[in-house]
Amino acid sequence: MRVRPSRSARSQKAQHLVAAFVPALIVVLSITGFVWAQKEVTVVVDGRTLHMKTQAADVAGLLEEAGIAVDAADLVTPSLDSALEPETTVLVRHSVPVTLVLGDSRLKVDVIGETVADALVSVGADPAANPAVTPPLATRLSPNMTIDVPEVFVRITRQEATVAAPVRYEKDPSLPKGTRSVVAKGRPGRVMRVYRVLVANGAEMAPVLTAEQTLSKPVPRIVAVGTASGGKGLLAAIRLKSHRGQSKPPVGGRRMRVEATGYSAQEPGLDYTTATGARAVRGVIAVDPRVIPLGTRVYVPGYGYAVAADTGGAIKGNRIDLCFDTVAECNEWGRRRVTIIILD
């Protein structure tokens, strides 16, 4: 007699499928759970950047997993017990053990920094006040290096100094083009300068200027630069000194004894044009070009500054003829022997 099964074949098949699926599901869930638990973080160790995936719960676990050793003198941010979150950045700066020699004292310190200057800052010293440190301030730190910090003091010095007179050039249409004339000699000024000098182990560093006070201002030296051309420029040059209020005789120059007579452009029949093409006006003198070249500036006592811009048939040797604006001035001058000063 056939025995009827208590369950259908289809039901038994489904039971077998479930039994096989459950272990597989457990394996998949464990794998995906591991992936979900991983966090992407960034670790910067002494300037070197690492990107990691980790399941560590805190910073300490992360560093242990990465094989990064730290001690109490090192800088870790965030702190070791801080919870680790996705996309966290952990900064690790290892300290560098060095020895600072301060006079007769030797001080061992762990420095969080990169250079000798950082080591000085770590002990409260001002790097700017200790330029004579050995090795130099910009030197990178290395483990167990020795840094010599000499005794330093500041000395303040004051010095007076001369300031050269600046030169100012001025265009002057009353001078022939290409010529120059010193209008004002100028005067140098005086200043008081204050310097800060660092003295390290008896040796002075380069002085640093910290203040400056003007005692007297320099007076500019003024040089007139001629812009006129032709006879007009020569004629105009004679008015330079009187135009600027300088009627005093010059200090330098070459002296020459001459006989000086006067003439005026207002005299009847006189040609108003000189040998150089300039108009005959006060300040023009006639000369013997073999003795005084045309264009030469001269100073005539009792007459003033003038320029050799004309010639004359009767003007030979050490003789000159002075042009006046009026006949009356010419007559008043008459004929004189004077010592002129040749400027050019």
- Name the domain boundary from 134, 150, 166: 150
List, for the chain, all residue ranges whose pLDDT scores fall below the cut of 50: 1-6, 10, 14, 18, 25, 28-36, 231, 240-246
Q: 255 lies in a domain? A: yes
Is residue 325, in this structure, part of any structural domain at all?
A: yes
DSSP assignment, residue 164? P
Residue with tokens 């073999």: 290
For residues 49 and 31, state if they share a domain: yes
Which CATH number does the domain housing residue 71 bear?
3.10.20.30
Q: Answer whether 338's CB lies under 8 Å from 302's CB.
A: yes
The total domain count for the chain is 4
Query: Is the residue at 322 inside a domain?
Result: yes
Q: Is 197 among the domain residues?
A: no
Same domain, 52 and 137: no
Domain identity same for 264 and 332: yes
**DSSP β-bridge partners for residue 310:** 286
The pLDDT, as a whole number, for residue 33 is 45
Predicted local distance difference test score (pLDDT) of residue 201: 65
234 and 338 together in one domain: yes
Do 218 and 169 sit in the same domain of this protein?
A: yes
Do residues 127 and 163 both lie within one domain?
Answer: no
Residues 210 and 248 in one domain: no
Residue whose tokens read 């001459």: 258
Q: In Å, how far are 105, 113, 117 from 136, measured between CA atoms?
A: 20, 15, 8
- The per-residue pLDDT for range 273-322, each reduced to its tens digit, is 777 766 778 888 999 989 998 888 899 999 988 888 888 888 999 999 99
- Together in a domain, 233 and 325: yes
d(CA 183, CA 168): 10
**Backbone dihedral region for residue 291 (phi beyond 0: left; psi -120 to 50: alpha; all else: beta):** alpha
Query: Is residue 258 within 8 Å of residue 317, measured between CB atoms?
Result: no
Q: Are residue 273 and residue 303 in the same domain, yes or no?
A: yes
Range of the domain at 316: 229-342
pLDDT given for residue 297 in this prediction: 87
pLDDT reported for residue 240? 46
Report the CATH number at residue 178. 2.20.230.10
Domain end, chosen from 46, 77, 93, is at: 93
Q: What is the CATH number of the domain that holds 320?
A: 2.40.40.10
Domain end marker among 93, 111, 136: 93
pLDDT of residue 243: 41
Looking at the structure, tell me whether residues 36 and 134 fall in a common domain.
no
pLDDT of residue 191: 94
Strand, helix or coil for residue 1? coil
pLDDT of the residue at 213? 92
pLDDT digit string, tens, across residues 209-236: 989 999 999 999 888 777 765 545 555 5
Tell me, yes or no, whether 240 and 326 share the same domain. Answer: yes
140 & 214 share domain? no
